[in-house]
Amino acid sequence: MRALDPRLLRRTSAARPLLVLDAALGIATGLAVLAQGTLIALIIARAFAGRGLHALVLELALLGVAFAARGGLAWGMEVAGRRAAWTVLSELRLALVARRLGADPLATDGVEGAELATVAVQGVEALEGYFARYLPQVVLASVVPLLVVAWVMVVDLEAGVIMLLTLPLVPVFMWLIGTYTEERTRERWQALRQLAAHFLDVVRGMPTLRAFGRDGAQAELVAAVSERYRRATMETLRVGFLSGSVLELAATLGVGLVAVSAGVRLAGGGLGLQAGLTVLVLAPELYLPFRRLGAEYHASADGLAVAERLFGLLDAPGAAGASGARIPPSPAEVPVVLENVSFAYPGRPAPVLTGVTLELLPGETVALVGESGAGKSTVAALVLGLLEPDGGRVAIGGIDLRDCDRAAWRRHVAWVPQHPVLLRGTVADNIRLSAPGAAPWQVRTAAALAGADEFIGALPGGYETLVGDGGRALSPGERRRIGLARAFLSEAPLVILDEPTADLDPDSVTTVTRAVRRLGQERTMLVIAHRREVVAAADRVVTLVDGVALTPGERRAA
């Protein structure tokens, strides 16, 4: 069980000050604990000696202050921890978002937006548990027992020695049993996750099970699998829970030994009542922080898991590489050439492209065809600089794209993906994505050229209709046309279209095909396509097969 991920200290600004503050509050808490124990013993001993209530007012008032101080300190630690959790997560969140916009826009790390939002926004609960509950306990467990033992040594050396002897038992036994059970506990968690996945799978597949008449036995099957899991888990827990019990045993044994030894010496006259009571009241405080630390173990594990997930994402190498500094020439003047480019997605064994050579001359329209999974969209991402080739290069008029300023290059390229994303905002804002300063008439012209003017006009708010998450839903064909309008508005000399007519109804196909032809008249264009209509408009057709590009007449080398 690691207490702190060093990356939290190194890479976030809030964790280090929190540790310093917690240490200070922890020492103050320890002192309040000593004051509290000593005062309780003092009050009882004096009452025992016959003093009345009026003679103990000051002591009782001081005891009240000690309790209030402990409460206030606990509150302070929790507030500081919660605030730190938010600050830390905010920093990590913005770093992740910035990374997605820089090093890895295509999400080759396989992390979907929704999953990331869950970790990077809702993960704050776990981090709060870690910073506000677990970390303070770590500090208290390292400060309070030391102060208690030191003070007890002063009050009664023998009780102090007993405590010193039992105290190391706790971490030693916890460590011994912990290392023995950790592996198995992890296995059980793994099994639990698999069991949950199996159950979800059965529920999801229930219509299929019913269709094939296999629904009858599922409940018993789920019950049997769960029962088997319960037996195996209880087996592990029988050993696993021993570690908690050893801690408990050390605590009760310590208190008991201190009480009996103090009692015997008191009876023999070797010890005063106040000293005996002081060590007795303080004895449980010695073990309490460890017990609470154990109870907050899950808070620690959950919080560290969130941190680890986020750091794992931040530290993964990006697929887009770093931007160069050279200003690339315009593809209206120079050819764009893929020279023997190979590429493999991280985590997938087989490369998508093994040696693609492809030339886009100024003004021509090239259609790129091939089976699904052949790497057509990968070619588009490589030309855009969203991915960096593993081998070979993308050359702009002879200059390697790696050496070029990425932002400057992307101003030369317009891209219409298969499923254009609508950002929250108006239709006009969405068309203006790459040209935020465009005038309304320019937006309208672009929309008209893309064949989008008509349906936008029919929307209740026209160009001011809100779309995207929470706004009006648009059909795939309408979204495709918004994407085309973006390309018309951008005036970039190179346009990349990904499956512009896939999954569209016949009417939309006609409109979109017309728009594509119009776009290709003025610019260099790379069209990824299935459809005959679109392919027919191309100057050249290139086929991707087994990771290489074939031009017509070429056959696969045997």
Partner 1 sequence: MSTALPALLRLTGARGWRWALAAILGALTVLFGVGLMATAGYLISRAAERPPILSLMVAIVAVQFFGLGRPALRYLERLWSHDLALRMLGGVRARFCARIAPLAPAELAGYRAGDLLSRLVGDVDALQNLYLRGLGPPLVAVLAGAVAVGAAAAVLPAAGAALAGGLLAGGIGVPALSGSVGVRARRRQAAARGALAAEVIELMRGAPEIVAAGAEVAALDRVRSADRAAVATARRDALAGGIGDGLGIVVTGATVLAVLILAVEASATGRLDRVLIAALALLTIAAFEAVAPVAAAGRELAATVAAGRRVLEVIDREPRVRDPAVPAAPPAPPVTLALEGVTARYPGQERPALRDVSLTLAPGERVALVGPSGAGKTTVVNLLLRFLDPEAGRVTLAGRSLTEYRQSDIRRLIAVAGQESHLFSAGIGANVRLARPQASDAEVERALRLARIWDWVSRLPDGLDTWVGEEGRQLSGGQRQRIILARALLADAPVLVLDEPTAHLDPPTAGQLMTDVFAAAAGKTLLLITHRSEGLDLVDRVMQLPGR
Site for partner 1 in 480-519 (CB under 8 A): 486, 490, 505
Residue 345: Cβ within 10 Å count: 17
DSSP one-letter code for 118 = I
Is residue 357 within a helix (H) or strand (E), and if so which, with residue range? strand 353-360
- Work out which of 40, 467, 509, 519 binds partner 1, going by CB under 8 A: 40
Q: Pattern 363-402, binding to partner 1, x per CB under 8 A?
A: --------xxx-------x--x-x----------------
The two structure tokens encoding residue 410: 């992307």
Q: Pattern 253-292, binding to partner 1, x per CB under 8 A?
A: x-xx--xx-xxx-xxxx---x--xx--xx--x--------
- Work out which of 326, 402, 411, 518 binds partner 1, going by CB under 8 A: 411
The CB-of-537 to partner 1 minimum distance in angstroms stands at: 18
- Work out which of 83, 184, 326, 514 binds partner 1, going by CB under 8 A: 83
- Work out which of 71, 312, 461, 462 binds partner 1, going by CB under 8 A: 71
Give the angle 64-65-70 at the CA atoms, nearest 5°: 100
CA distances from 105 to 110, 340, 508 (A): 11, 24, 29
Q: Pattern 518-547, binding to partner 1, x per CB under 8 A?
A: ------------x-----------------
CA distances from 182 to 178, 233, 239, 240 (A): 6, 13, 11, 8
Report the largest interatomic distance among the alpha carbons of the chain, rounded to a whole angstrom: 113
The CB-of-105 to partner 1 minimum distance in angstroms stands at: 4
51-70 residues near partner 1, rule: CB under 8 A: 51-53, 56, 60, 63-64, 66-68, 70
The CB-of-248 to partner 1 minimum distance in angstroms stands at: 4
The CB-of-206 to partner 1 minimum distance in angstroms stands at: 4
Closest-CA residue to 370 (of 527, 515, 503)? 527
Q: Tell me the helices (H) and strands (E) count for the chain, helix number first.
A: 20, 12
DSSP one-letter code for 529 = -
Judged by CB under 8 A, does residue 348 bind partner 1? no
Judged by CB under 8 A, does residue 322 bind partner 1? no
Taking the CA atoms of residue 53, residue 54, residue 58 and residue 59 in that order, the dihedral angle to the nearest 10 degrees is -20
Output 82 or 518, the one with its CB closest to partner 1: 82
- Cα four-point dihedral sign 384, 385, 387, 388: positive
Judged by CB under 8 A, does residue 180 bind partner 1? no
Closest-CA residue to 375 (of 552, 548, 503)? 548
Question: How are strands ordered across the β-sheet holding 494-498?
Answer: 413-416, 494-498, 524-528, 365-369, 540-545, 548-550
- Binding segment for partner 1 (CB under 8 A), chosen from 173-181, 243-251, 350-358, 453-461, is 243-251
CA distances from 115 to 103, 235, 278, 448, 546 (A): 19, 34, 53, 37, 33
Please say whether the beta carbons of 337 and 401 come within 8 A. Answer: no
The CB-of-387 to partner 1 minimum distance in angstroms stands at: 10
6-25 residues near partner 1, rule: CB under 8 A: none
Judged by CB under 8 A, does residue 417 bind partner 1? yes
Judged by CB under 8 A, does residue 319 bind partner 1? no
Distance CA 362, CA 331 (A): 6
95-124 residues near partner 1, rule: CB under 8 A: 97-98, 100-102, 105-107, 111-114, 116-118, 120-122, 124
Output 63 or 337, the one with its CB closest to partner 1: 63
Output 371 or 554, the one with its CB closest to partner 1: 371
The two structure tokens encoding residue 321: 């590489």
- Work out which of 212, 437, 553, 556 binds partner 1, going by CB under 8 A: 212
- Work out which of 202, 316, 332, 361 binds partner 1, going by CB under 8 A: 202
Closest-CA residue to 159 (of 291, 270, 48, 33)? 270
- Binding segment for partner 1 (CB under 8 A), chosen from 2-10, 232-240, 338-346, 440-448, is 232-240
Distance CA 303, CA 123 (A): 8
Output 60 or 164, the one with its CB closest to partner 1: 60
The CB-of-195 to partner 1 minimum distance in angstroms stands at: 9
124-163 residues near partner 1, rule: CB under 8 A: 124, 132
Judged by CB under 8 A, does residue 420 bind partner 1? yes
The CB-of-47 to partner 1 minimum distance in angstroms stands at: 4
Find tokens 């124990």 and name the residue: 37
445-484 residues near partner 1, rule: CB under 8 A: 468-470
